[in-house]
Amino acid sequence: MGMLLSANAQWVLFSTLILGMASGMIGCLAYWKRQSLMSDALSHAALPGVVIGFWLIGTKNMPVMIAGAAISALFGALMIQWIRSSSRIKEDTAMGMILSVFFGFGIMMLTIVNRFAGGNQSGLDSFIFGQAASMVRKDVYMMMVLAAIVILVVSIAFKEWKLFLFDPDFARGLGLSRRFMDGIYLAVLVMVIVIGIQAVGVILMAALLIIPAVSARYWTHSFKWMVILSAIFGGGSGVIGTLVSTMGVGWPTGPFIVLASSVLFVVSLVFGMEKGLLTKAMQIQLQKRELRYASIEASGAKGPQRGGEVG
């Protein structure tokens, strides 16, 4: 519990809070673009860039490693688009291919680097499952600034995002470039992924992007409130998971954050006001009751008429 009271732990908590909020907001965009698998593919594609950045510098320099992760993830996105446009392979298949190839290449590079002198003390293994407690103050500041930029991009251009996602033809008529919006979407998605892989890990980063958005969908049909709820669920998961991970020695942060978001998803699945299982069950029971009352009233109205005809 001592670590929970330390200044560094408080900064880590705040960074995972803002990371979760940014991930939840971007996850809503990916959800409505039907590109949830894209976040998984790009998070895995970022691993080679992290390892190559460390290999080039020879030390754990976060700006260089994040830049390498961003370049690697963007290259993965370009490869997905190239495979999709130059062949008959579908987008989800291309994403699965890039995910596997880039992650396998990253693991191979990680194994080679760890055999170098000082490589096994580099802490690169924490990028696979996440270890927020290993971040220093400079890492936390950079994560917070980049996550805040993502939140501002989504918030300021909220109306444009809504048009872009739900009525692209009308948006094009207003002069909103689809290519420009796709570029902005890809940029903020990659930004969230590369700043989150140290805390959550490349394997589980996709879960932080997908699960809060899906959970929010069970509570509302409004896109605005879905974005807000997804940010709350993502931020809450980040804080709870980080708190739990700091209670043990060497516990990875990513799995606990994903478990926290999974608990929120189960609660949303059961108790969600719009699409929850309990809400649907109550609606079905109410409809059955209304049909039963309607049939009783109909049969009661017909009874006296038949009696009158006989009399």
The mean pLDDT value for 13-22 works out to 90
Domains, the chain, ordered by start:
2-210 (1.10.3470.10)
Mean pLDDT of the chain: 85
pLDDT at 309: 47
Q: Which of 55-64, 87-96, 122-131, 258-267 has the highest mean pLDDT?
A: 258-267
**In this predicted model, what pLDDT tens digit does every residue of 232-250 receive, in sequence order?**
999 999 999 888 887 877 7
The mean pLDDT value for 131-138 works out to 74
Q: Which of 87-91, 114-118, 147-151 has the least mean pLDDT?
A: 114-118
* Cβ atoms of 102 and 40 closer than 8 Å: no
**In this predicted model, what pLDDT tens digit does every residue of 23-45 receive, in sequence order?**
999 999 999 988 888 888 999 99
**In this predicted model, what pLDDT tens digit does every residue of 88-113 receive, in sequence order?**
888 889 999 999 999 999 999 888 88
Q: How far apart are CA 248 and CA 264, in angstroms?
A: 22
pLDDT tier for residue 73 given thresholds of 50, 70 and 90 = very high
pTM above 0.75, yes or no: yes
Is residue 133 pLDDT above 60, yes or no? yes
Q: Fill in the amino acid letter for 214.
A: V
Burial of 237 (0-12, 13-18, 19+ CB in 10 A): buried
Cα-Cα-Cα-Cα dihedral sign, residues 214, 218, 219, 220: positive
pLDDT tier for residue 123 given thresholds of 50, 70 and 90 = low
* Cβ atoms of 154 and 27 closer than 8 Å: no
**In this predicted model, what pLDDT tens digit does every residue of 290-304 receive, in sequence order?**
888 877 877 766 655
Non-local (6+) Cβ contacts of 242 within 8 A are 12, 13, 16, 132, 199, 253, 256, 257
Is residue 277 pLDDT above 80, yes or no? yes
Share of the chain above pLDDT 90, in %: 37
* Cβ atoms of 257 and 238 closer than 8 Å: yes
